[in-house]
Amino acid sequence: MSRKHVSPNALSALYRLHARGFIAYLVGGCVRDLLLGRTPKDFDIGTDATPNQIKKLFRNCRLIGRRFRLAHLHFKNEIVEVSTFRRAGSPSDNPEPEEEGRPKRPRHIKDEEGMVLVDNVFGTPEEDALRRDFTINALAYNIADASLIDFSTGLADLNDRVIRPIGEPSVRFTEDPVRMLRAVRFAASHGFDIESAAWESICELSSTISRVPPARLYEEIQKLFLLGSARTAFRLMDKSRLLSTLFPSLGRSIDGNSRCRELLEANLAFIDQAYRSGGMALSPALFFAALFGPSLERAALVRHKEGIPRHQALDETCALFMEEISKTVSVPGRVGGRMRAILALQASLHKMPPRRPASIAGRSEFAEALAYLRIAAETKKEYKPSLEWWDTFLLEMPPIAAAEPATEKLPKKRRRRRRQKGRHVPMAPSDQEKG
């Protein structure tokens, strides 16, 4: 494995740890991707230095995390994560309570179902590797002698393109249900197969994904669907029932509805292609519009036909959606609001000819709304003329019109100038005063 493809900041941190007498390994997914000839998105370091020792060694270090105590090294355009080697813990690893003063913080906690809540028990490099999620993520690169270390079957599984949990799959997925999403993500993004026993456990334990904090699931959902493999991830999520657990309303809408499922897959395929080509900016709001927009638009249309104004119907539908999804995935309000704005602008984009198109093009959500129209036009041919009109308009639109604000500004009221008091001019002294 060549060091030329390793981040200079990560190499610098590895060399400094090694120079101070600590073990320093490049660990995890970056080693996996380097061996596959892929460019890692980030670089992680494993060491026997404790978090406090790491903080003393690097002035740009910030310690984070409760469940896992980690060190983040902040560089100009990159964050390198450094973690202390750990091992699988047990309640016996927790410190004895103090007789006086504050109790010591426990190092290992599991809930009643077996999910790990706190895990900060330090261990050896091998123990650290064997507590990771999958064998292909348990590989390490030793900066001291440029050797590749494999404590499990990582290299063999990498060659066979198999995702295999380390240990009993049901136990590992119970300890951290997010590992099920990670298995799906690696299978989708790398084109790997999930080991049969692991797949059976995922299908059996899919309902337990709802025990994960919603904020953490939001981050995982972005990794699943915004990195170029959304369509394959969607299929695996649907097949394993993870999708219906995370998004119940979406699961109900596609259950037995092949047309709806095909439409969503086509939308996600378009997003994947756009990501790979780099021709369209992807945002969480646009992704959620592509995934949930069709069902939200249908529900809003039903409300509209019942006599509710169109915009109000869409507002109520989106509000109910946000209320339901927040129980499992914590979608920020700004993202939900942006998704609603993308859907609301579709009526103006479909109207031919549009009223005051330059003003529409100046709206902040216009680019994403047009991207949504472009996605929808792939499956709904009746949208093609609208899309072509807007593409032509944008080519011919003068720069000044393109910069026109979204809403017409009212003329400013003229401020009434305050009358300045006259400056006091002292009078010349009278003759008597002069005397």
133 is catalytic: yes
Is 129 in contact with 153 (CB distance < 8 Å)?
A: no
Q: Give φ, ψ of 192 to 5 degrees.
A: -95, 165
Q: Are strands 139-142 and 24-27 parallel, antiparallel or unpaired?
A: antiparallel
Distance CA 68, CA 169 (A): 21
Is 402 in contact with 358 (CB distance < 8 Å)?
A: yes
Nearest to 228 by CA among 177, 260, 270, 272: 272
Structure tokens at 391: 């593409």
Among residues 44, 119, 128, 238, the one annotated as catalytic is 44
What DSSP element (H or E) covers 16?
A: helix 8-19
Among residues 42, 93, 176, 193, the one annotated as catalytic is 42
Distance CA 378, CA 62 (A): 46
Rg (CA), the chain: 29
48 is catalytic: no
Is 297 in contact with 351 (CB distance < 8 Å)?
A: no
11 contact partners, CB below 8 Å, separation of at least 6: 3, 143
Three-state DSSP class for 338?
Answer: helix
What DSSP element (H or E) covers 83?
A: strand 79-84
Quickly list DSSP for 102-139.
SPPPPSEEE-TTS-EEEE--B--HHHHHHTSSBGGG-E
What DSSP element (H or E) covers 142?
A: strand 139-142
Among residues 128, 133, 157, 272, the one annotated as catalytic is 133
Alpha-helix runs per DSSP H in 191-331: 196-205, 214-225, 230-240, 242-246, 248-254, 258-277, 284-305, 310-325
Distance CA 300, CA 284 (A): 21
Identify residue 220 by its one-letter amino acid code.
Answer: E
44 is catalytic: yes
Distance CA 362, CA 406 (A): 5
Nearest to 274 by CA among 262, 293, 287, 264: 287
Distance between the two ends of the chain, CA-based, in angstroms?
Answer: 105
Question: Known catalytic residues?
Answer: 42, 44, 133
